[in-house]
Amino acid sequence: MRVESFSRESPRPWTTISQRIVEIERDVFGEDAFSPEELRWAFTSRKTLAVLMWDGLGDGLLVGYTQAQPGRAVDTFYISNTAIAKSHQGRGLIKLLMQRLYADIRAVGGRFIERDVAIENGYADMLMRVHAADILETSDHDSEYGPQRFIRMRVPEPP
């Protein structure tokens, strides 16, 4: 597996990855998937930070992504989407993806992360266990995507 940062200046433009991003989004989130237009905006906005995960060398197969935008506070980023294709889930790959995003956030001066995380699938509880020392604030709430947990945390230090 390899991860790489993606931006509007990346050698691989949005048009070459957009269809696969949409496929992964639909595979993972079904009816709750972001639309192709929402994904294009999320990945190509000027201050978006995004990370892609590839299975294999060279062009390989795009199997995951995450992306974040600046939050309300100057030194905060809001992670709005993280997805790994179902065919690649359960292998601990999320850790690689997030470590790269955290490094990119630190590189632009980010100190904090905010995100809403699904409670139903256990992801919120897992995130709370893994990042317990960095979590500053949590609150549970209902959303159009089901029960969510808002989490504000420090950007984790590199391992």
Whether 46 shows a pLDDT value over 90: the answer reads: no
pLDDT of residue 22: 96
Tell me the pLDDT tens digit for each residue of 101-152: 999 999 999 999 999 998 887 888 888 999 999 999 999 999 888 899 999 9
Q: Is residue 21 part of a domain?
A: yes
Q: Is residue 8 part of a domain?
A: yes
**How many structural domains are present in the chain?**
1
Q: Is residue 51 part of a domain?
A: yes
Tell me the pLDDT tens digit for each residue of 106-118: 999 999 999 999 8
Give percent of the chain above pLDDT 90. 62
Q: Give CA–CA dist 159/156, Å, rounded.
A: 9
Q: Is residue 98 part of a domain?
A: yes
The closest of 42, 62, 155 to 104, measured between CA atoms, is 155
The closest of 38, 52, 28 to 104, measured between CA atoms, is 52
Can you give the residue range of the structural domain that contains 143?
Answer: 2-154
pLDDT of residue 107: 94
In this structure, are strands 61-70 and 49-55 parallel, antiparallel, or unpaired?
antiparallel
Across 28-37, 52-61, 73-82, 86-95, least confident range? 52-61
Q: Is residue 135 part of a domain?
A: yes
Q: Is residue 159 part of a domain?
A: no
How many CB atoms lie under 10 A from the CB of residue 18?
Answer: 15
Q: Give CA–CA dist 5/149, Å, rounded.
A: 27
Instruction: Give me the residue label for tokens 């995100």.
Output: 115
Whether 57 shows a pLDDT value over 70: the answer reads: no
Q: Is residue 86 part of a domain?
A: yes
Q: Give CA–CA dist 82/94, Å, rounded.
A: 9
Q: Is residue 6 part of a domain?
A: yes
CATH code of 17's domain: 3.40.630.30
Element (H, E) at 123: helix 123-130
